[in-house]
Homo-oligomer: A and B are copies of this chain.
Amino acid sequence: MSQQNDTTVNTTPMKASQTAGKQKFLQLGTIQHIDVTRNPGIVPVVDAMAHMAFSARDLNRAADIYDRMLKDTDCGVILTLAGSLISAGLKKVIVDMVRNNMVDAIVSTGANIVDQDFFEALGFKHYVAEDRLKSGLYDGELREHALDRIYDTLIDEEELRVCDETTQKVFEAMEPGQYSSRDFIRALGEHLDKTGGPKCADSIVYECYKRDVPIFCPAFSDCSAGFGLVAHLVNRGDQPRASWDGGKDFYELTQLKIKNPETGIFMIGGGVPKNFTQDIVVCAEVLGHDAPMHKYAIQVTVADVRDGALSSSTLKEASSWGKVDTVYEQMVFSEATLAFPLIVGYAYHKGAWKNRKAKKWNTLLEPAAVA
């Protein structure tokens, strides 16, 4: 191949000349993140749900199980994230979990962590889309204005290209070697730290960096960072580079399970983060460790159980695989923007986290266990 050694992310999308015209789509303002710490009124609402039926009762039980996880101070809490959650206004819920020792590790799609959280940390915003845009009939026009749509939310593609490019720059500055996604994401957090902190009030990547909470993206090339990885790869050509070793992700998360056997998982959506996190129990066993199943497990999802997909597979089914215990498991059938703030707000105001210490799981993985 003949790439020059100055390949960078192409930050000039096709129709950048139309930047001015795009403002007409951005009049409804930006997504603002809900702050559950200011809403103690969530507690009596969730308490009342205990005596109702259907999703309300399920939500109450899930909130109660999360509260139990936090009271069980030996238990490590792993949060898994799938779906567009940060762009939907749920960033501060997660940051508050990190700040208050309510979560010990995060396993996520790349989009939530890089395209959305790191993106906002760079000073960019998500925009509220007009209702008519949800029809799909204006997507060609949005394309012309370099605006990307996520259902009812807009992203400025030019800003997203800056995010892509920034990941490349961070990766270029790393020592050549094989890294887990956790390593790369810590490097993004370090980048924020060295450049004056996030350019917005809250950042998951930054907060986790400061508090030694590991973040894994087991499909790390499937996001903005993937563009950075590829641009870096092309730029280096035959020279050594920083590469993503996806096997290390699985190894590291399994090590955490081995070192802290009692675990609970809090899943938003399903997908790779759910499966990957459930699988570490088996992986520990495969490596000869008698790790117990995840003791607690809750999931918020709208996936239908009848298509047989993993995203909707019940937590009982996971117990047949030896992954999840069934005493404290609960699925909540709800779109995440409704259920997630109620569950976390409930546990926050119940306060069990006050007796819980930061587990700083990143420190369990240092120095890098495997070269």
Contact = CB atoms under 8 A, between A and B. Distances in A.
Interface stretch (A64-72, A186-194, A229-237): A229-237
Contacts of A334: 55, 334-335, 338
Interface in A113-133: 126, 128, 132
A87 B313 CA distance: 14
Given A88-B56, A151-B54, A83 B338 contact: no
B287 A306 contact: no
Interface in A77-113: 82-84, 87-90, 109, 111
B139 A319 contact: yes
A55 B307 contact: yes
A153 to B, nearest CB: 5
A159 interface: no
A296 B109 CA distance: 26
A276 interface: yes
Given A319-B143, A320-B143, A53 B150 contact: yes
Interface residues of A, number: 130
A136 B135 contact: yes
A150 B234 contact: no
A219 B147 CA distance: 28
A51 interface: yes
A336 interface: yes
A90 B339 CA distance: 18
A234 to B, nearest CB: 6
B279 A226 contact: yes
B251 A322 contact: no
Interface stretch (A37-45, A195-203, A205-213, A352-360): A37-45
